[in-house]
């Protein structure tokens, strides 16, 4: 255990930004929980001060109907993180089970699952997400499903390989001899063993999931106005960029970038700590 901590210290010393990233992620989680209470203004109340530049009264300025952008950016954290976390969780659970089944049984089951994943991968993933939302209907929960679907192949691939390596390990054979069913071996013995690798994948995926969800709402899918979400706020502010009113699009954009950056850096650090072989 001592070695493990020394390794963590080494990783952090090599990349001190990871500490900042951890702080950033904690801040984001805090905002997701309490952003509503912290917002200085009502995020949905329009006012007469339209398109005001950032000032001491309105830190990020106001938008085209006079809403305070800072308050809207704060309360967006919940929706953005909520979408990303549920999408990643969903694809992690489904992907781990599918991948474990493919890796454990092999043969025909494996080929069928792999073929299905290949079909998913045969599309540009963002386009696939667009198509899924178009087919299922334009709602927030369908953004979650779409993001989960396009992340699925990565989890299936990782779990499949890792389970396949351990397929004939002694602890699996011991569990078999003691009369455990295949499903029980997969869920109780194999999946916990491959969980660290899968978690690394999940943390690397979080930033991407946020980007993806924000991209979908930027093009008008999922989140609907007047709801506050970083992607749709950037979209609402986009038309004012060419006339120089930058804050309406840039401020929520920076919040989005900050969130993605923090999760990406943290994911990198976690990978270095838990799975140093994967490092590039």
Partner 1 sequence: MISSKNRVLRVKKGGLAGGAALSKERAVARFIIKRLLAALPNLAGVLLFTFVLARALPGDPASYLAGPAADPAAIEEIRRNLGLDRSVPEQLLLYVRDIARGDWGTSWATGQPITTEIITRLPASLELTIFGLLLATLFALPMGIISAIRPGAAIDHFCRVLATLGVSLPTFFTGLLLLYVFYYLLGWAPMPMGRLPAFALSPEPLTGFYLLDSLFAADGETFCAALSQLVLPGLTLAIFATAPLARMTRAAMLAVLSSDFIRTARAFNLPDRQIVFGYAFRNAMGPVLTTLGMVFSFTLGANVLVEKVFSWPGIGSFALEALLISDYAAVQGFVLTMGMLYVLVNLAIDVILVISDPRIRMDA
| Residues contributing to the site for partner 1 (CB under 8 A) | 115, 118-119, 122-128, 130-131, 134-137, 207, 211, 214-215, 218-221, 231, 234-235, 238, 241-244, 246, 249-250, 253-254, 256-257, 260-261, 264-265, 268, 280
Q: Counting beta carbons within 10 angstroms of the beta carbon of residue 58, is it exposed (0 to 12), middle (13 to 18) or buried (19 or more)?
A: buried
Reduce the DSSP state of residue 68 to 3 states and report it. Answer: strand
The minimum distance between CB 138 and partner 1, in angstroms, equals 8
The minimum distance between CB 257 and partner 1, in angstroms, equals 6
Angle at 84 between CA 246 and CA 72, to 5 degrees: 35
Of 24 and 35, which has the nearer Cβ to partner 1?
A: 24
Q: For residue 202, what is the enclosing H or E element?
A: helix 191-218
The minimum distance between CB 238 and partner 1, in angstroms, equals 6
d(CA 245, CA 238): 9
| Biggest alpha carbon–alpha carbon distance for the chain | 75
- Exposure class string for 209-226: b at 16+ Cβ within 10 A, else e: bbbbbbbbbbeebbbeee
**β-bridge partners, 68:** 62
The minimum distance between CB 145 and partner 1, in angstroms, equals 12
Of 19 and 238, which has the nearer Cβ to partner 1?
A: 238
Of 35 and 237, which has the nearer Cβ to partner 1?
A: 237
The minimum distance between CB 224 and partner 1, in angstroms, equals 12
**β-bridge partners, 62:** 68
The minimum distance between CB 210 and partner 1, in angstroms, equals 9
Of 51 and 250, which has the nearer Cβ to partner 1?
A: 250
Q: What is the dihedral of CA 129, 130, 135, 141, to 10 degrees?
A: 60
Of 95 and 253, which has the nearer Cβ to partner 1?
A: 253
The answer to whether the bond into 226 is cis (omega within 30° of 0) is: yes
| Number of Cβ atoms within 10 Å of the Cβ of 162 | 21
Of 131 and 174, which has the nearer Cβ to partner 1?
A: 131
């Amino acid at each position: 255990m001592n070695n493990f901590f020394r390794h963590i210290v080494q990783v952090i010393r090599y990349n001190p930004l990871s500490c900042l990233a951890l702080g950033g992620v904690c801040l984001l989680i805090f905002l997701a929980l309490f952003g509503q209470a912290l917002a200085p203004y009502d995020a949905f109340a329009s006012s007469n001060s339209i398109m005001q530049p950032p000032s001491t009264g309105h830190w990020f300025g106001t938008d085209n109907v006079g809403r305070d952008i800072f308050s809207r950016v704060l309360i967006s954290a919940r929706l953005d993180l909520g979408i990303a976390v549920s999408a990643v969780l969903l694809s992690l659970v489904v992907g781990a089970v599918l991948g474990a089944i493919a890796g454990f049984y092999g043969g025909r089951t494996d080929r069928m699952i792999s073929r299905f994943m290949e079909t998913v991968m045969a599309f540009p993933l963002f386009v696939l997400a667009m198509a899924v939302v178009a087919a299922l209907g334009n709602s927030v929960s369908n953004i979650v499903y779409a993001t989960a679907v396009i992340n699925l192949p990565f989890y299936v691939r990782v779990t499949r390989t890792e389970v396949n390596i351990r397929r004939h390990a002694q602890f699996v054979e011991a569990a078999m001899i003691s009369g455990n069913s295949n499903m029980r071996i997969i869920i109780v013995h194999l999946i916990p063993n491959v969980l660290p690798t899968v978690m690394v994948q999940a943390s690397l995926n979080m930033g991407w999931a946020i980007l993806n969800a924000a991209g979908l709402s930027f093009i008008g899918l999922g989140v609907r106005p007047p709801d506050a979400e970083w992607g749709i706020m950037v979209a609402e502010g986009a038309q004012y960029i060419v006339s120089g009113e930058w804050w309406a699009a840039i401020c929520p954009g920076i919040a989005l970038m900050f969130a993605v950056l923090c999760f990406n850096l943290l994911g990198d650090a976690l990978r270095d700590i838990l799975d140093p072989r994967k490092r590039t």
